[in-house]
A and B are shown apart, each in its own frame.
Chain A
Amino acid sequence: MGKPEVLPDPTYQVDRAALIRELAAVLPPTSLLYSTEDTKPYECDGLSAFRKVPLAVVLPENEAQVQAVMRVCHRLKVPVVARGAGTGLSGGALPHEQGVTLGLSKMKSILHIDPVARTAKVQPGVRNLAISEATAPHGLYYAPDPSSQIACSIGGNIAENSGGVHCLKYGLTVHNVLKVRFVTIEGEVMEIGSEGLDSAGLDLLALVIGSEGLLGVVTEVTVKLLPKPQLARVVLAAFDSLEKAGQAVANIIGAGIIPAGLEMMDKLATQAVEQFVHAGYPLDAEAILLCESDGTPEEVAAEIERMEAVMRASGATQIRLSKDEAERLRFWSGRKAAFPAVGRIMPDYYCMDGTIPKRKLAEVLEGIDRLSKEFGLRCPNVFHAGDGNLHPLIMFDANEPGQAERAAEFGSRILTLCIEAGGTITGEHGVGVEKINEMCVQFRPDELDTFRTVKRAFDEHGLLNPGKAVPTLHRCAEFGRMHVHRGEERFPELPRF
């Protein structure tokens, strides 16, 4: 497999000296980086196997500077790649060799918190968790909680429509953002959404959220805040087959329960994790479920009782309830450490992010198991069971001849399984550069053409994040694969997925 092949893009012919001269005229010196020494730290995001050095990195301090940069790039026809905290996992912030990387890290102020209206107005570089920390004194929080929330920024969350383990109950970014200001490639400021619950005209907010930096650069975000639940408890249930665990998931939701979180791990994943973090998982179970209830103490008590009853009726061999907050966090610690744990027992793993209808879970897992035997590669599974979002981890050793190629083919077959089961190639990590080829598998040419049409309405010359998210027809003729190599993943300390 090795390094991805990145073809030079002939579309952009940029005069580097002129670009830097023009940028220097509109930015303070500390906001413009162009020596390789200074720009190299920006060569990749959380998907570190893809690397490119941009012509320049700009770090504007305010919206006016973002506008000025956009005007320069628009006039000179220079690609612009927006970057938040750079924690994304699909290469959405991978620089463009002929382009400018526009980092929002200096725009990190929480502008206003309104505890009664339950809103917070923030700049794009504010970290996801910082919003919840700042609003905690009011008993409020920002609900979407991607696992990287201590580092990832709200601007990046908008770009990716980030989820988290609680999104079945509390929604994705698109459900929790009221208003966005963004700057177009022409340098014009657009304000979409409102301080009410909807906005005039078309729902452009739905279109911009999750657009991976291809439509505009976000400069201000107003998010919705929720009252923090008084209590959360988690049920840990063990099952002697994946089918029974999958059925238990269906039974819980069929019983009218929407858990705050509902996660599954198979035996391989549980065993890998247990020797790493000692979360107290049963090692003989074929699958475990973590099922969280939150709310008032009365609500949680009643819901936990129902959850346990459903688990028992679904054939759970063991059920444990977190006694206190420390134990709840310990139950979750294993789930959150699943990826580093796998990374410790195998040099390489290739992570997938498919979503499938939950009823196809057993079928798809059987398919993955069959493929695992066919390819001779182990594949632990962890997933957001409540919303059918799978993260199979294909384990391999790139130093063993042929293994990387087998892992790539295995991954391709898993994504095909997901699409065949009626699912999608990416539930939450985004397309970026990583899954750009698989877009050609999921969508037909006419649908991709429509995406490109939308793009042109915002960015006629294709200057915003070119080469990402939506493949060209030409691109669809090619096919490549990526994997995560141990030691190459940036921010290895962050919980993932």
Chain B
Amino acid sequence: MTDFAHWSEAVRAAAAAGRSLRIRGGGTKDFYGVALEGDVFDTAGYRGVIDYDPSELLLSVRAGTPLAEVERTLAEGGQMLAFEPPRFGEASTIGGVIASGFSGPRRVAAGSARDFVLGVRVIDAQGRDLSFGGRVMKNVAGYDLSRLMAASFGTLALVTEISLKVLPRPETEATLVFDLPEADALDRINRWAAQPLPLSASCHRDGRLWVRLSGAGAAVDAARAKMGGTELPAHEAQPRWDALRDQRDPFFAADTPLWRLSVKSTSAPLGLGPQLVEWHGALRWIAADLPADRVHAAAEAAGGYATLYRGGDRSAGIQRLTPPVLSLHKRLKQSLDPQGVFGRHRIHPDF
């Protein structure tokens, strides 16, 4: 077992001094959040795969391990991180991937970053070295604190090691393109998703719908025949999905604030501004300078919530929580990190 005594000491010292630690892997997601406060606590030095066994579908890894190294390791075993986290640069670490909880195009079919977390080792706000979850597929002993770490942005604990479920890469993929206005595209993709078709991703922008199929060759062939559309050659399709996943699609280059709306997939077009739709309609990116209240209200009316993902004035908050849920967040934060050592104000102005 690695000795985290020096990290524990650093956490305790920060708590004693009333300082906050800003846990940071590669720093590729510094654009996100309400505020970046506190002393940078760099985890990038603690890297390396602890255990990888393709037949266990298990990867245990140190938090500072570069995402690129994780992906290379898995590719050698014919496997992948099925939630397709965005890659914002070589510095990106697996710790940051899990802390952000960001998930890419395949999330709609395979599940999110949190869905693949099996266990974590953390240093808590008292500097204690703790483990939750495990390295097995099924484990219901104790509260699921390991999955709670996903999307917590370093606000609850310092994650040092992570165990993840990994999946085989699909045997075959194909991409179909359809020229359809947004409302028709939303209807079409949701109706397909309700049928046993091997859909693994979709994207709609500027009157065009891209659909990716993944799976056994026979299943992809059958779906292709059934769905129609125009097939995009593989050498064009892969770069397109990569660009979408890594947010290098020209849509994401806009100089305006970027809103991320997580909504019910069948919600009618929101009409808020220039938009890119993923996850069969459940994820809608909007690049426009809009009054925050208007965007939050639109997302809530569509069964979900909005996040001011990048740019704009984030000082008043990037998401809107209902009063009871906000109060529960504060109690949980207060319980686990009473001194506010971890990630102060990263995800909410109140804690």
A binding-site residues for B, Cβ under 8 Å:
114-119, 138-140, 160-161, 163, 167-168, 171-172, 174-175, 184, 188-192, 194-204, 206-207, 209-211, 215, 227-230, 250-251, 253-254, 256-258, 295-296, 298-299, 301-303, 355-359, 384, 386-389, 422-431, 435, 439, 442-444, 446-447, 450-451, 453-458, 469-470
For residue B150, CB closer than 8 A to chain A, the reply is yes
**With A196-B283, A356-B136: A140-B324 Cβ-Cβ less than 8 Å:** no
Counting from the closest, the 6 A-B pairs by CB-CB distance are: A195-B303, A298-B218, A256-B168, A196-B304, A196-B262, A387-B137
Q: Fill in one digit per residue for B255-268: 1 if any A CB lies within 8 Å of its CB, else 0.
A: 00000011111100
**With A171-B115, A194-B303: A188-B144 Cβ-Cβ less than 8 Å:** no
Given contacts A424-B141, A446-B130, 17 further A-B contacts (CB under 8 A): A139-B196, A171-B115, A195-B263, A196-B282, A197-B283, A198-B151, A199-B304, A201-B325, A203-B114, A206-B147, A210-B143, A215-B143, A253-B55, A298-B221, A302-B218, A427-B140, A443-B141
Q: How large is the interface on B (under 10, 10 to 19, 20 to 34, 35 or more residues)?
A: 35 or more
Closest to A169 in B: B167
**Contact residue among B54, B58, B112, B216 (Cβ-Cβ distance under 8 Å from A295):** B216
* Bound CA span A463–B19, Å: 35
Question: What residues of chain B lie closer than 8 Å to A202, measured between beta carbons?
Answer: 148, 151-152, 155-156, 329, 332, 347
For residue B335, CB closer than 8 A to chain A, the reply is yes
**Contact residue among B124, B139, B334 (Cβ-Cβ distance under 8 Å from A457):** B334
**With A198-B262, A256-B171, A355-B137: A447-B142 Cβ-Cβ less than 8 Å:** yes
Question: What residues of chain A lie closer than 8 Å to B321, measured between beta carbons?
Answer: 200-201
* Bound CA span A298–B305, Å: 39
Question: Is A174's CB under 8 angstroms from B147's CB?
Answer: yes
Q: Fill in one digit per residue for B205-229: 1 if any A CB lies within 8 Å of its CB, else 0.
A: 0000000000111110110000000
Closest to B338 in A: A453
Question: Is A139's CB under 8 angstroms from B195's CB?
Answer: yes
B binding-site residues for A, Cβ under 8 Å:
53-58, 78-79, 101, 107-108, 111-112, 114-115, 124, 128, 130-132, 134-145, 147-148, 150-152, 155-156, 167-169, 171, 187, 190-191, 193-198, 215-219, 221-222, 261-266, 279, 282-283, 302-305, 307, 319-322, 324-326, 328-329, 331-332, 334-336, 347-348
**With A189-B324, A453-B335: A171-B111 Cβ-Cβ less than 8 Å:** yes
Question: Is A172's CB under 8 angstroms from B144's CB?
Answer: no
Closest to B320 in A: A200
Identify which of A198, A257, A447, A454 gathers the most chain B CB atoms within 10 Å of its CB: A198
Question: What residues of chain A lie closer than 8 Å to B329, measured between beta carbons?
Answer: 201-202, 204
* Bound CA span A125–B140, Å: 22
* Bound CA span A191–B300, Å: 13
